[in-house]
Structure formats: structure tokens, C-alpha cells
Structure 1
Amino acid sequence: MGATLPPRGGSGGRHRRSPISDINVTPMVDVMLVLLVIFMVTAPLLVTGVDVELPKASSPSMDQDNTALTVSVQRDGGVFINQTAVSLDTLAAKMDAITGTNPDARVYVRGDEGVPYGRVMAAMGALYEGGYRRVALITQPGGGSRGADAAEAPR
């Protein structure tokens, strides 16, 4: 926003202006900050999966394996591999198709808190019969059933 003045002492003739070789990075910084805010807002929403209310347990957490498959059992008894609905009869066959019959594949089972225990065990049994031995149950961190019973007990 400054003005260019003619040199002192001088000739009011024409002068060649030298090109400005500085790069204006302000627009790039603005775009990057907007992208950063967008990613910060949308990152928590990218957690995809089947809506399951996990039970709480006071067990130590395991190291997470991002390559593991997740089998979810919903409250109504529906069984899903990642987000694909399957039946218990076809669970092992679908797992074989996904893993390439790799029995060492890690499988996480997410059972809804309100689903009957037998339904979760039926899913785990189908995985076991399919040859999958590395199966783990997923729970929410926090107090277990003893803490809940103690909190509800009258004094």
C-alpha cells in the first residue's frame, strides 16, 4: 500500500520496475488452517462401525491392531463383519473370504450390552469352528459389574 516515489535529485524519466520475487504465502496458510479445522472436526466422526453399546469392564487395555476384523453383535441379535450383515451360518465362510483362510487373523468381537450372552458366544463359537483362534472381546473401559453392584446396593 505504499507509493513509489521518484529518486531524489532527479530525472523524472521512466524507470523500470523490478518484478517482485517474493511469494505470498498468506492464502496458502489460510487454506491450510481451514483444512486443519475441517479434519479436526470430522476425524471423530470417521469412526465407522455398527452401533453397539459395549459393556464396561475394569480390565487392562490391549494393544490395538488396525488390521484386525471386527465382528459386532447388535442388541437385536444381528451379526456384522465390519459393517456387512451376515448370518451365523455364513460367518466363518465370509471370514475365510476376507482373510484368505488365514487362521492367525486377529478378530475382535463387539457384543452389545443388552444382547443375550448366548448370542455372543454363538458368534464366537462360529469363529472357533471356522479355525479362528485369536478372538478377543471388546468392552468399554471403566468400572466392572462389581462396582455397579456396590454403587446400587442400599446401605
Structure 2
Amino acid sequence: MAMHLPSKRGRGRRTPMAEINVTPLVDVMLVLLIIFMVTAPLMNAGVPVNLPESKAKPLEQDSKPVQVSIDTQGQIFIDSDPVTEAALGARLSDIAANRRDADGRPPLVLMRGDQAINYGKVMSVLGELNRAGLNRVQLVSNPAGKK
């Protein structure tokens, strides 16, 4: 790091400092990096759903799947956007037509249903998924013993 000594050149005026101190910038960036590293895993699911338990092992995924969720009140969400039952078929058809995986197939759909909802509600959403052509559906559950 260089030091500026006063000079006699400017007739009493100081010369402007031409250095930028990057230490505070690096400190702020490291703090932000730590904050993002801690909060990123917490932003996984957008809709709070009380999932049932299962002893099945997790499946590997290639690309980002579409999440269809049904909460305790029976409200349907695609990713984290609420959707009415009337608009569900059109939204799913749009997803099937416009989103493709790397291999050209329609995207994987993760179905998340609260354990307190009616089974008929889940079946009607699964029927809409099938009608839209989204046949790669996985049902999401919590591992056994974890809540």
C-alpha cells in the first residue's frame, strides 16, 4: 500500500487521492456470501405443506422439476403461484407445451399434498396432470421419523 506525503506542488492544495480501499468491499461481500449460503437451503419449498412420511429413498433429478402443491385448505399451487381449479388444466397444458427437459420430454412434476386433504382432491389434480400430458409425476413425502 502506498502512502501519500504532502508535496509543495499544489501551492497548499492537497492532491486528490487516486486509490480505492477495497477492504470494506471485500468484508461486505464475504458477509453477503455467508448470508446467502445459510439462507439458500431454506428457500427450497414455497408452499408450507405437512407431507406424509415414507420409507422410500430420494430420487435423483436432472433438471428443475415443476412443483404442484395442495395445502391444508385445498388451495392448489404450481411452484409457489396459486391456481384455481378452473385454470389448472390450461396452466398445466401450457407447461407441457413450453417446458422441456434436456432430452426433449415434458418436465418432471413433483406432487406435494398435505396429509390432511381429501384423497379425491389429489386424484383430480393427478387427472389434470395426465390430461395435460405431464406423465412423469413423483409424489413427495417426508422421510420416516422426520417432520
Relative to the length of structure 1, the TM-score reads 0.66
Q: How far does residue 89 in structure 1 lie from its aligned partner after superposition?
A: 3.5
Q: Does 1:73 align with 2:70?
A: yes
Indicate the residue corresponding to 2:143 in structure 1.
141
Pick from 50, 53, 56: which aligns with 1:53?
Answer: 50
Q: How far does residue 66 in structure 1 lie from its aligned partner after superposition?
A: 4.0
- Determine the C-alpha separation between the residues in 2 that align with 1:63 and 1:74: 25
Q: For the aligned residues, what is the CA RMSD?
A: 2.8
Residue identity over aligned pairs, in percent, reads: 43
Contiguous gaps of at least 5 residues in structure 2: 1-19, 100-104
Relative to the length of structure 2, the TM-score reads 0.69
Pick from 24, 30, 50: which aligns with 1:33?
Answer: 30
Structure 1 residues 141 and 64, CA gap change in structure 2 (3 angstroms): farther
Contiguous gaps of at least 5 residues in structure 1: 1-22, 145-155
CA-to-partner distance for each residue in 1:21-50, whole Å, 9 max, x for gaps? Answer: xx9664344233222232234323433411
Indicate the residue corresponding to 2:130 in structure 1.
128
Indicate the residue corresponding to 2:110 in structure 1.
108
Amino acid at match of 1:77: G
- Determine the C-alpha separation between the residues in 1 that align with 2:45 and 2:52: 19
Question: Across the two proteins, how many residue pairs are aligned to each other?
Answer: 125
Q: How far does residue 142 in structure 1 lie from its aligned partner after superposition?
A: 2.0
Q: 3-state DSSP class of the match of 2:85?
A: coil
- Determine the C-alpha separation between the residues in 1 that align with 2:143 and 2:96: 29
